Amino acid sequence: MSDGPQMTAESAANFAALVVAIEDFLLYLQREKRSSPHTCSNYQRDLRRLANYLADHGVSDWNELDLHCLRRFTASLARQHLSGRSIARQLSATRRLFVFLIREGRARDNPALDLRAPKHPRRLPAVIDVDSLSHMLDAPRAAEGPHEVRDRAIVELFYSSGLRLAELVGLDLPQLDLDAGEVMVTGKGNKRRLLPVGRAARAALAEWLALRPQWAGNADCQAVFLSQRGGRLQARSVQQRLALWGTTVGADRRLHPHLFRHSFASHLLESSSDLRAVQELLGHSDISTTQIYTHLDFQHLAQVYDRAHPRARRQSGSDQKPQARDE
């Protein structure tokens, strides 16, 4: 549903009344919680979807939303073939909205507290194996200009320190200390954390910083990564440049920022098995978020086992793999 011309006058009035609280909530997220534009955009989309549904069903006040109504709404989302993950995000946004409304004295209770989305299979994040990543990063380099030097520094920093995309584009010069090999990033919830920067990333960053003044000009911009116009490089541009860089070095898949973050976490966990350390480096507030990489690590170990164990290898001339016995 949308708030387009097909809405009746009554529905439009209901929707307008409900949206007031949504806009106040989004301002709260921006100003007090320092939520990213991406997070706010997701909340806005999900909550306006709910407001549309309620408006079409004669609801104009958030206090009229109860558990039964919310359950009917989530059932309608399932009939539209939204995934369990999308429905869970919708309910999370609703819960957060009502926490805000109750705090402001604009709602009595939270109807989303006891409602859970359908279970969905947890997807393991894609990663690049160590050899493939090393091959790409160490590929022979032709003559490079500022674009290519900057892009290589971005890739090296992503993989060296496991940054989120928003953390990388928000990075300012005072936060980066190449002599100490450290970078201070501001993550979700405005939380700051100090991260190590590896040798290869420091070298790539030093090369970029030597060229950076060519684009900085007289602009008073403290961003580490600049566009050619001298302003802060935007997230969408980073995504596009990574995809282009992957094509240049012959990657066998489309490269994106989170692929390097996932690879960073997985490779560290494979080498150290220190889940708490990886949690700190990634900036996860809940270790259960980090634990997905233990499943990824096990998947890697299982593949090694299947290739190497005498009782797991395929028999010559047969497509059947014998089951390893539990001994």
The three-class DSSP label of residue 269 is: helix
Please pick, among 202, 212, 261, 267, the residue that the annotation labels catalytic.
261
Point out the catalytic residue in the list 258, 295, 309, 313: 258
Beta bridge partners of 194: 184
What DSSP string describes 217-231? TT----BSSB-TTSS
What's the sign of the alpha-carbon dihedral 201, 206, 210, 215? positive
Q: Which runs of E-coded beta strand occur in 42-181?
A: 176-177
Task: Reply yes or no on whether 159 is catalytic.
Answer: no
Q: Which one is catalytic: 43, 53, 159, 293?
A: 293
What Rg value do the Cα atoms of the chain yield, rounded?
Answer: 24
Instruction: Answer yes or no: 254 catalytic.
Output: no
- Tell me the C-alpha distance between 118 and 114, whole Å: 13
Beta bridge partners of residue 184, listed in sequence order: 194
User: Is 276 noted as a catalytic residue in this protein?
Assistant: no
The stretches of 138-194 forming alpha helices (DSSP H) are 146-161, 165-169
Distance of CA 317 to the CA centre of its chain: 45
CB 312 within 8 A of CB 282: no
Among 57, 85, 284, 300, which one carries the catalytic annotation?
284
What DSSP state is assigned to residue 112?
T
Q: Determine the residue type at 314.
A: R
Task: Determine whether 261 is an active site residue.
Answer: yes
Say which of 48, 164, 241, 262 is annotated catalytic. 164
> Is 141 one of the catalytic residues?
no
Q: Which two tokens stand for residue 178?
A: 């190449």
Active site residue 284: yes
Using alpha carbons, list the distances in angstroms from residue 202 to 5, 65, 83, 157, 176.
Answer: 55, 54, 41, 8, 10
- Which residue out of 85, 89, 188, 193 is catalytically annotated? 188
Alpha carbons 223 and 174: distance in angstroms, whole number = 9
Residue labelled with tokens 């949206």: 19
Q: Catalytic amino acids?
A: 164, 188, 258, 261, 284, 293
